[in-house]
Amino acid sequence: GAILAYVGLVRNQLRFGLSFGPAAIVGIGFVAYAAVLYPLLGIWTGHAYPEMPVFGVTPCPVTIFTFGFFLLAKPPVSRWVLAIPFIWSLIGGGAAFLLGVPQDWLLLVSGVVAVPLVVACRSNLNVKA
């Protein structure tokens, strides 16, 4: 949270606006999945409330949502804000397979897909961190 506040508020390097392209499409997909499909998939797979992981409370759907917002942000997005969500996507995504939480499987994919897309948008602008 502190890194987001610093990058977004102090350095003003986290801005949002309308854009179209692969990054925006994937970003919309991640946001929709985390906010809508994630809880529905949890119910469908037999996780009843309040035992099921839900958006806004558990880190896995919040991480997917965060990557979605980073993909919807105007480039350049600072690489610093990607580090913690990416590490969590690897840890939590791996645990999703081991613990049998299918709605978290996209977590592993989200980091592997979002980080290269954000970096590609940065490099198209030839911007340094």
* DSSP state letter for 16: B
The whole-number pLDDT of residue 25 equals: 92
Query: How far is residue 41's CA from residue 6's CA, in Å, rounded to a whole number?
Result: 34
The reported pTM is: 0.83
Query: How far is residue 86's CA from residue 124's CA, in Å, rounded to a whole number?
Result: 21
The whole-number pLDDT of residue 105 equals: 86
The whole-number pLDDT of residue 63 equals: 92
Mean pLDDT in each 10-residue stretch from start to end of the chain (129 residues)?
85 79 91 90 76 74 92 84 90 83 86 90 58
End-to-end CA distance of the chain: 19
Query: How far is residue 22's CA from residue 102's CA, in Å, rounded to a whole number?
Result: 25
**Cis status, amide bond into 76, omega within 30 of 0:** yes
The dihedral of CA 89, 18, 74, 4: what is its sign? negative
Residue type, 45: T
DSSP state string for 70-129: HHHBPSPPPGGGGHHHHHHHHHHHHHHHHHT-GGGHHHHHHHHHHHHHHHHHHHHHT---
Count of other CB atoms within 10 angstroms of residue 79: 16
The whole-number pLDDT of residue 67 equals: 93
